[in-house]
Structures are given as structure tokens and as C-alpha cells.
Amino acid sequence: MREETKSNYSPQVRAGMVPNLRVKNHNGQDTNILEGLVYCIKHKNTGVNIDSNGRAIYMAAPKHNNNGNEWQHWGVEITQYRLEATITGFQYGNLEAALANAVRTPHVLSEYHGVIRNPTNASVSSSVSKSFEKVNTITWGFNRSSTLEFSNKFTISTDAKLSIGALNMGGSIIRESEDTISLSLQENQQYTYSYTSADTISHNVNVLPNSSISIDLIINQARDFSVPLAARVKIEGFSDRVKQDGNFVRDTEVDLAAVQNSLELENYQGNFVGTEGNQVIFEVNGALIGDIACESIFDVKDC
């Protein structure tokens, strides 16, 4: 459905911030430590962080310094980070064809049932007009896979708009959704949007002498039609950062390398397609499923 594209954007470094470059060990290998982020120093055996009263920290006496002493072994851990994933750029299969081929299920609106009686010896012509609301339901469903297995480090949102605009199909208008929605694993990776649209139908009827007719308003529903969809997941990261003047900034945007490092820590296994600025981009797939009110007709019968 979509060709893979490579971004022409290059990673961006925020002005005044220490760039988030990977720190290499003495063998020249990358570590999970990046420059410009804030880390705490954690004791290997107890998991306790190094603390300070603002003036000093406890240091071992030189005579007790020993590389084999595990009570002097420490590691570093990033103080906090979070990831924001926005699902956007939706593309759909042939929605027009799906609607045209969908099975129509007639739905009788009982509240609009009526009877016209003609007790005279002459035919009577009448115009019947009804205003009513049609209910439409659209569901964006995403394939549940590692692509959408987000950890609790992620905040997820999407602009799941039906971006093909207004579609006229047999009198049915599918309007563009302006909703901003949230997804979670507990919601089975889908979002359902329902809306009503106003409609008016008119019909001229002829009632024969000394007879009656019944009139029912019927809406043909195109139920459970489905088209494939694809979208992009754009992920950016936030953490505490060090400024070039030595001061700290809390919970601010990080550079591309830090986002990639965070995704590695979360073992995110999405379908990678590229980067854009400091965002990492993946693709997700699924289906758009609809239950749309199409043709509206009057069913006229003798009674």
C-alpha cells in the first residue's frame, strides 16, 4: 500500500543543549550512556543511589580502594525518560469499491411508520416528507503485533481522520473525523467513531378510492465493509537534559540518538521506515471497518 521512503531530514540538536552523543568504552564500543542526559549513580549490591547534601558525598579512604571490592562497584541509570508515539498519515484501500460491493441490510425505522386512508370515491395524491437521522460507525483497527506493543514508557495518540474527505455514496456522506483519539492495549488497538447525519426524504404517493396504503421508511445499511489501512508511528523522546552552561532542564525533547537508545531499552520491534528530525518512524497496518447508512427509501404497500 505504501512505498518505503527515506527521510531527507537530518537529526537536530536543540540550541544550548549538550548533544546526545553515545559514550564509548575503553574498547571503542558503544554503551547505553549518552552525553547530555541526567543519570543517577546506583550501587551494584544494594541498588541505592549516591546522595549528596549539596556540599559533599561519602568517599572511601584510599587504603580501602580496591577494584575487587563489590561494595565500591557502581553503575549508572538514566533518571527518567518517556516516549510519545503519534499514529498519523493514514492511507486506505479502495473505500468506494468496498462500499459499492458491501451487502446492504434494510433497517426499518418503526417510528416513521404511517398509514394514509382514502375513504372517498376519487383517487388522492399526496406528498410525504420525513426528516430523520442516520447513524454511521467507523472503526480503525490495528493488527496486534510487536508493532503496537508499547510499554508503559509510551504515551500514545493518533489523528485517525478519514482523510479522503467527504465521500458521497448512494446518498451517504462519510464526514472527516476531527477527533484526536487515544489507544491502549486494553482497548484491543482499535477506536470506533460514531456520528449521525441529518437527511430528508420526500415521495409522492397516489391512494386509490376507498383504499389505504402503509408507508415505512427504510435505510439500507452497508454493514461490516472493510478496507486495509496503513499509518505511520512517529516516536519522539523526552528526558532531563544538561545545558551547555551546566544547568539542567527537566523533561525536554532529546536528540535522535537518545530516542533510538530508548527504543532499544524498551525492545520496541516495529517496522522501521526512517527518521525525521529527532523522530523515529515506523509503519503499522490494519483495517478500516464501517457500518454506513446508505440509500433511504419509502416502502409503500396497500393495506
Instruction: Specify whether the backbone of 189 is left (phi greater than 0), alpha (psi in -120 to 50) or beta.
Output: left
State residue 177's pLDDT score. Answer: 42
State residue 169's pLDDT score. Answer: 36
State residue 87's pLDDT score. Answer: 82
Please name the fold of domain 88-231+286-302: Proaerolysin; Chain A, domain 3 (2.170.15)
State residue 160's pLDDT score. Answer: 64
Q: Which residues contact 8 (CB under 8 A, 6 or more apart)?
A: none
Q: Give CATH 2.170.15.10 domain extents, the chain.
A: 88-231+286-302
Share of residues in the chain with pLDDT > 90 (%): 20
State residue 166's pLDDT score. Answer: 39
How many CB atoms sit inside 10 A of residue 185's CB? 13
State residue 278's pLDDT score. Answer: 94
Write out the H or E segment, with its range, that includes residue 286. Answer: strand 279-302
State residue 181's pLDDT score. Answer: 42
Name the stretches of the chain with pLDDT < 70.
1-13, 58, 143-149, 159-191, 193, 195
State residue 6's pLDDT score. Answer: 42
CA 33 – CA 261 distance, rounded (Å): 9
State residue 144's pLDDT score. Answer: 60
State residue 193's pLDDT score. Answer: 67
State residue 237's pLDDT score. Answer: 94
State residue 168's pLDDT score. Answer: 38
